[in-house]
Structure 1
């Protein structure tokens, strides 16, 4: 008899084996979540609970979090049997993969233990410096890592559309990137907006560090046609909107992605977890996960 959706949820959270076709027992990926009591952490834990092939194996948060010691799925009204802990080693000891959407310093601390314990990582943290990105790449020599500024499938398809648009609109079009996020976001421009700029600049054979313009104020002079502009808006509880404007003479093209909630990031993260299943080491991105390269 087919299992109901609710039954699949219960199986995933309790870590029981889910009968497969012909009575087999499919793999369940043991996943730890960093920032477990935050907004994104909650969304990830809920997605893991609903996934028949994943189960929560660890939950990390800061020592100051009021959730320390509580069941990680308590906010859902269910028991996962996994307490939220500030001890990184304890949080990772039963995990195969860590999903991390925290802050750069925290992510790098987690990766030190991931490297030691052989735990793979899916990293959605943004705001890394070039030196920090190099540390991640070095860690990927020993453990497999998916690093992406945005785990959304739709956003990564948007990146691909921007490649096509930039190839065609490479002359006579001014490029501006506008991103909007909630009031709690601490970095600007967003990692997704920067990635959009990188995608476009690569196609146009421009150095983004030299052509990027971050906001404008005062008498700025006439716009340099080779620049790529960035504008950041912060307010309310907006999950994330990104628009790239190609403004030509007599027309303009806008490519926009809007996220209604964080579920899209969580589902993309689980696709990355599955992608890493047969990878021992290496640094990958969502184009690898989605087969867009």
Structure 2
């Protein structure tokens, strides 16, 4: 079974107009490529170092119906400005930028009382499912097994551990106090690896390994589009991939 396949029914898929922040980055390129082959996805504006938010703000504040959602794969500084912009436009926002500070998360929580915001350190469908699996395993095996968490990424990735690894660890700690802290995550930077996350549960009698390996960055772009389509239909609130997964599994 291909966990990365589209969950959206192509026959009933509505058109979605997106402002893409971070269009010159890895994820930006993937989303732009997908938009060229998806008749239901329209990127109406790109935000990057050559075309900053300040150049577009007046246009879209005066015509707020020109887009449906703001998708952010930029950086910490830009994300702060984008939160305010989405709030002012009263539009949903998907935040895929990682390494968010506590102050940025506080701004997100505040704005989520007025608009729907989804924060995802990883937009892979299978990673959303992996969160659920490791939570269940930690709850059942945490008292009898040692839990290990390793992440491997390309050498250009700035944050370590990855946002996904921190999120997996945080999910497990809710169910098991012995789950790894961020400092106990093994982080490896190697070549051009898109991303591999491995959680192991080891005892003297057996070992359970739950692993996700990204073969292509396009899977993250496809997942981001799926989550964005879901988010534009949601009421104000702070959401995560687990909320999207719950509805996808129980339509």
TM-score by length of 2: 0.85
Aligned to 2:5: none
Q: Which runs of 5+ in 2 are unaligned?
A: 1-10
Deviations 1:205-238 (A, max 9, x none): x397xx6262xxxxxxxxxxxxxx3110012111
Displacement of 1:119 in angstroms is 2.3
State the shift of 1:55 in Å.
0.9
SS at match of 2:97: coil
Distance 1:91 1:185, change over 3 A: farther
| Cα contact 1:32–1:60 (8 A) shared by 2 | yes
1 CA distance for matches of 2:47 and 2:60? 8
Number of positions where the alignment pairs a residue of Structure 1 with one of Structure 2: 234
CA distance, structure 2, for counterparts of residue 92 and residue 159 of structure 1: 36
The question of whether the paired residues in 1 share the 8 Å contact of 2:151 and 2:195 is answered with: yes
Task: Report the equivalent of 1:289.
Answer: 244
Asked if the contact 1:245–1:255 (Cα under 8 Å) also holds between the matched residues in 2, the reply is: yes
Partner of 2:55: 87
1:212 is aligned to 2:184: no
Matching residue of 1:43: 30
Q: Which runs of 5+ in 1 are unaligned?
A: 1-19, 69-83, 215-228
Q: How does 1:218-233 map to 2 (within 5 A)?
A: 229-233=184-188
CA distance in 1, matches of 2:211, 2:231: 29
1:172-217 CA-to-partner distances (Å, cap 9, x unmatched) read 211111001111111110010011101111111x397xx6262xxx
Following TM superposition, by how much is the alpha carbon of 1:170 offset from its aligned partner in structure 2, in angstroms?
Answer: 2.0
Whole-angstrom distance in 2 between the partners of 1:240 and 1:261: 9
Matched, 1:55 2:24: no
Cα offset, 1:57, TM superposition:
1.0
For residues 201 and 91 of structure 1, the distance between their equivalents in structure 2, rounded to whole angstroms, comes to: 45
The question of whether the paired residues in 2 share the 8 Å contact of 1:174 and 1:247 is answered with yes
Counterpart CA distance in 2 for 1:117 and 1:290 is 27
| Cα offset, 1:87, TM superposition | 2.3
**TM-score normalised over the length of structure 1:** 0.74
User: Where does residue 133 of structure 2 map in the other structure?
Assistant: 161
Please give the residue correspondences for 1:94-173 in structure 2 after superposition, counting only pairs within 5 Å: 94-173=66-145
Q: Sort the Cα spacing of 1:212 and 1:27 in 2 relative to 1 into closer, same or farther, 3 A.
A: closer
Q: Distance in 2 between matches of 1:37 and 1:213?
A: 29
Alpha-carbon distance between aligned partners in 2 of 1:213 and 1:186, rounded to the nearest angstrom? 15
Q: Secondary structure at the match of 1:183?
A: coil
